Amino acid sequence: MKPRLVFSPRYSVDYGWHSFAAEKFGRAADLLGDACARVAPSMPPREDLLLAHDAVWADKVVSGRLSPEELKLLELPFSPEIAPAHVLSVAGTILAARHALETGVGLHCGGGAHHAFRDRGEGYCALNDIASTILKLLGEGKIARAAVVDLDVHQGNGTASILAEEPRAFTFSMHQGDLYPEKKEKSSLDVELPAGLGDAEYYDRLKRNLRAVMDFKPDLVIYQAGADVWEKDRLGGLKLTERGVLERDTAVLETCRLHRVPVAVVLGGGYGPTPADTARLHARTLACFGGLKDKVPL
């Protein structure tokens, strides 16, 4: 049976000349072609957005009408036409997590908005799909404990903040220490990396710290698989090769399999020289978790 790939063409909005090239999502989905069965999310009910966000902020995002100050923090052009992409992404991660609980792995060709806080957006992230999903499934009793493995090059500050008082959630962020955000939040486990770190050192630190995540005994892992750890990323400073990025993904997958923990993958950041470069890395991550490694070879 083909793995299911959660994706909506509405994710690929045009931000104009902006470092966040949302077309990468559609390009990544296309690289996987018919090897996956695409599943489109439906608009989530307002109640799902209120799990991780206050009503004032959630309603502003849904309407697409943000103040100049809010737009400055978000660092994205935003409008009523663009808003559905961000709202749909919440439903997309919830759906991928449900797939993970059914089959062991869920794939979301989108999501990973880890800079969104309860009352504001930051760093290209308007709504925190990761926190929303965990709180949704905890509230439904589908899981008793959940963990976030956030390997984007930037700290998952919004996720850490929203879940800080939730004892049933464990947040792990391994990120470059001297990058955005300037003010870090406190995750359950933060590992700050120096600029220039390469494949071998990264892999060693990841494997050691994944043990702490598994010690929490989560019933679900949400993996934020930012591609901005790649050595050619324009916003990051780590030096992982393409093979190193794949080894990172494989380490997460094998750890979850070893401990029999379902894992849902969300894509997060990635700012390669071209959208096609970033899409290739994202597609390879999804292919790794979907058992389709030959679909996007090195």
pLDDT above 90 for 174: yes
Tell me the CATH number at 192: 3.40.800.20
> pLDDT by residue (tens digit) across 276-293?
999 999 999 999 999 998
Interaxial angle between packed helices 275-289 and 242-258, expressed in degrees from 0 to 180 and rounded to the nearest 10: 30
pLDDT of 298 above 90: no
* Strand partners for 6: 39, 108
Give dist(CA 208, CA 223) in Å, integer.
17
**Tens digit of each residue's pLDDT (9 = 90 or more) over 144-153:** 999 999 999 9
Could you tell me if 146 and 52 are in contact, meaning their C-beta atoms sit under 8 angstroms apart?
A: no
Q: Is 5 in contact with 36 (CB distance < 8 Å)?
A: yes
Q: What is the pLDDT of residues 209-266, one digit of tens each?
A: 999 999 999 999 999 999 999 999 999 999 999 999 999 999 999 999 999 999 999 9
Long-range pairs of 283-286 with CB within 8 A, sequence gap ≥ 24: 283/27, 283/28, 283/29, 283/31, 283/32, 284/242, 284/245, 284/246, 284/249, 285/225, 285/227, 285/245, 285/246, 285/249, 286/5, 286/28, 286/32, 286/36, 286/107, 286/109
Give dist(CA 69, CA 129) in Å, integer.
22
Cα 18 from chain centroid (whole Å): 19
Domain count for the chain, please give it. 1
Which strand (E) or helix (H) includes residue 171? Answer: strand 169-176
- pLDDT category at 104 given cuts 50, 70, 90 is very high
User: By mean pLDDT, which of 13-17, 37-41, 58-62, 155-159 is the weakest?
Assistant: 13-17
pLDDT (tens digit per residue) in 14-57? 998 899 999 999 999 999 999 999 999 999 999 999 999 999 99
pLDDT band at 73 (very low <50, low <70, confident <90, very high): very high
Q: What is the mean pLDDT of the chain?
A: 97
Would you state the pLDDT for residue 16? 86
Q: How many CB atoms lie within 10 A of CB 127?
A: 27
Respond yes or no on whether the N-terminal peptide bond of residue 181 is cis (omega within 30° of 0): yes
Q: Where in the sequence is the domain holding 82, given as residue range(s)? A: 4-295
Q: DSSP class of residue 11? A: G
- Res 131 pLDDT > 90: yes
pTM: 0.98
**Model confidence at 183: pLDDT above 90:** yes
* pLDDT, mean of residues 138-148: 98
Give the separation between CA 262 and CA 105, rounded to whole angstroms. 6
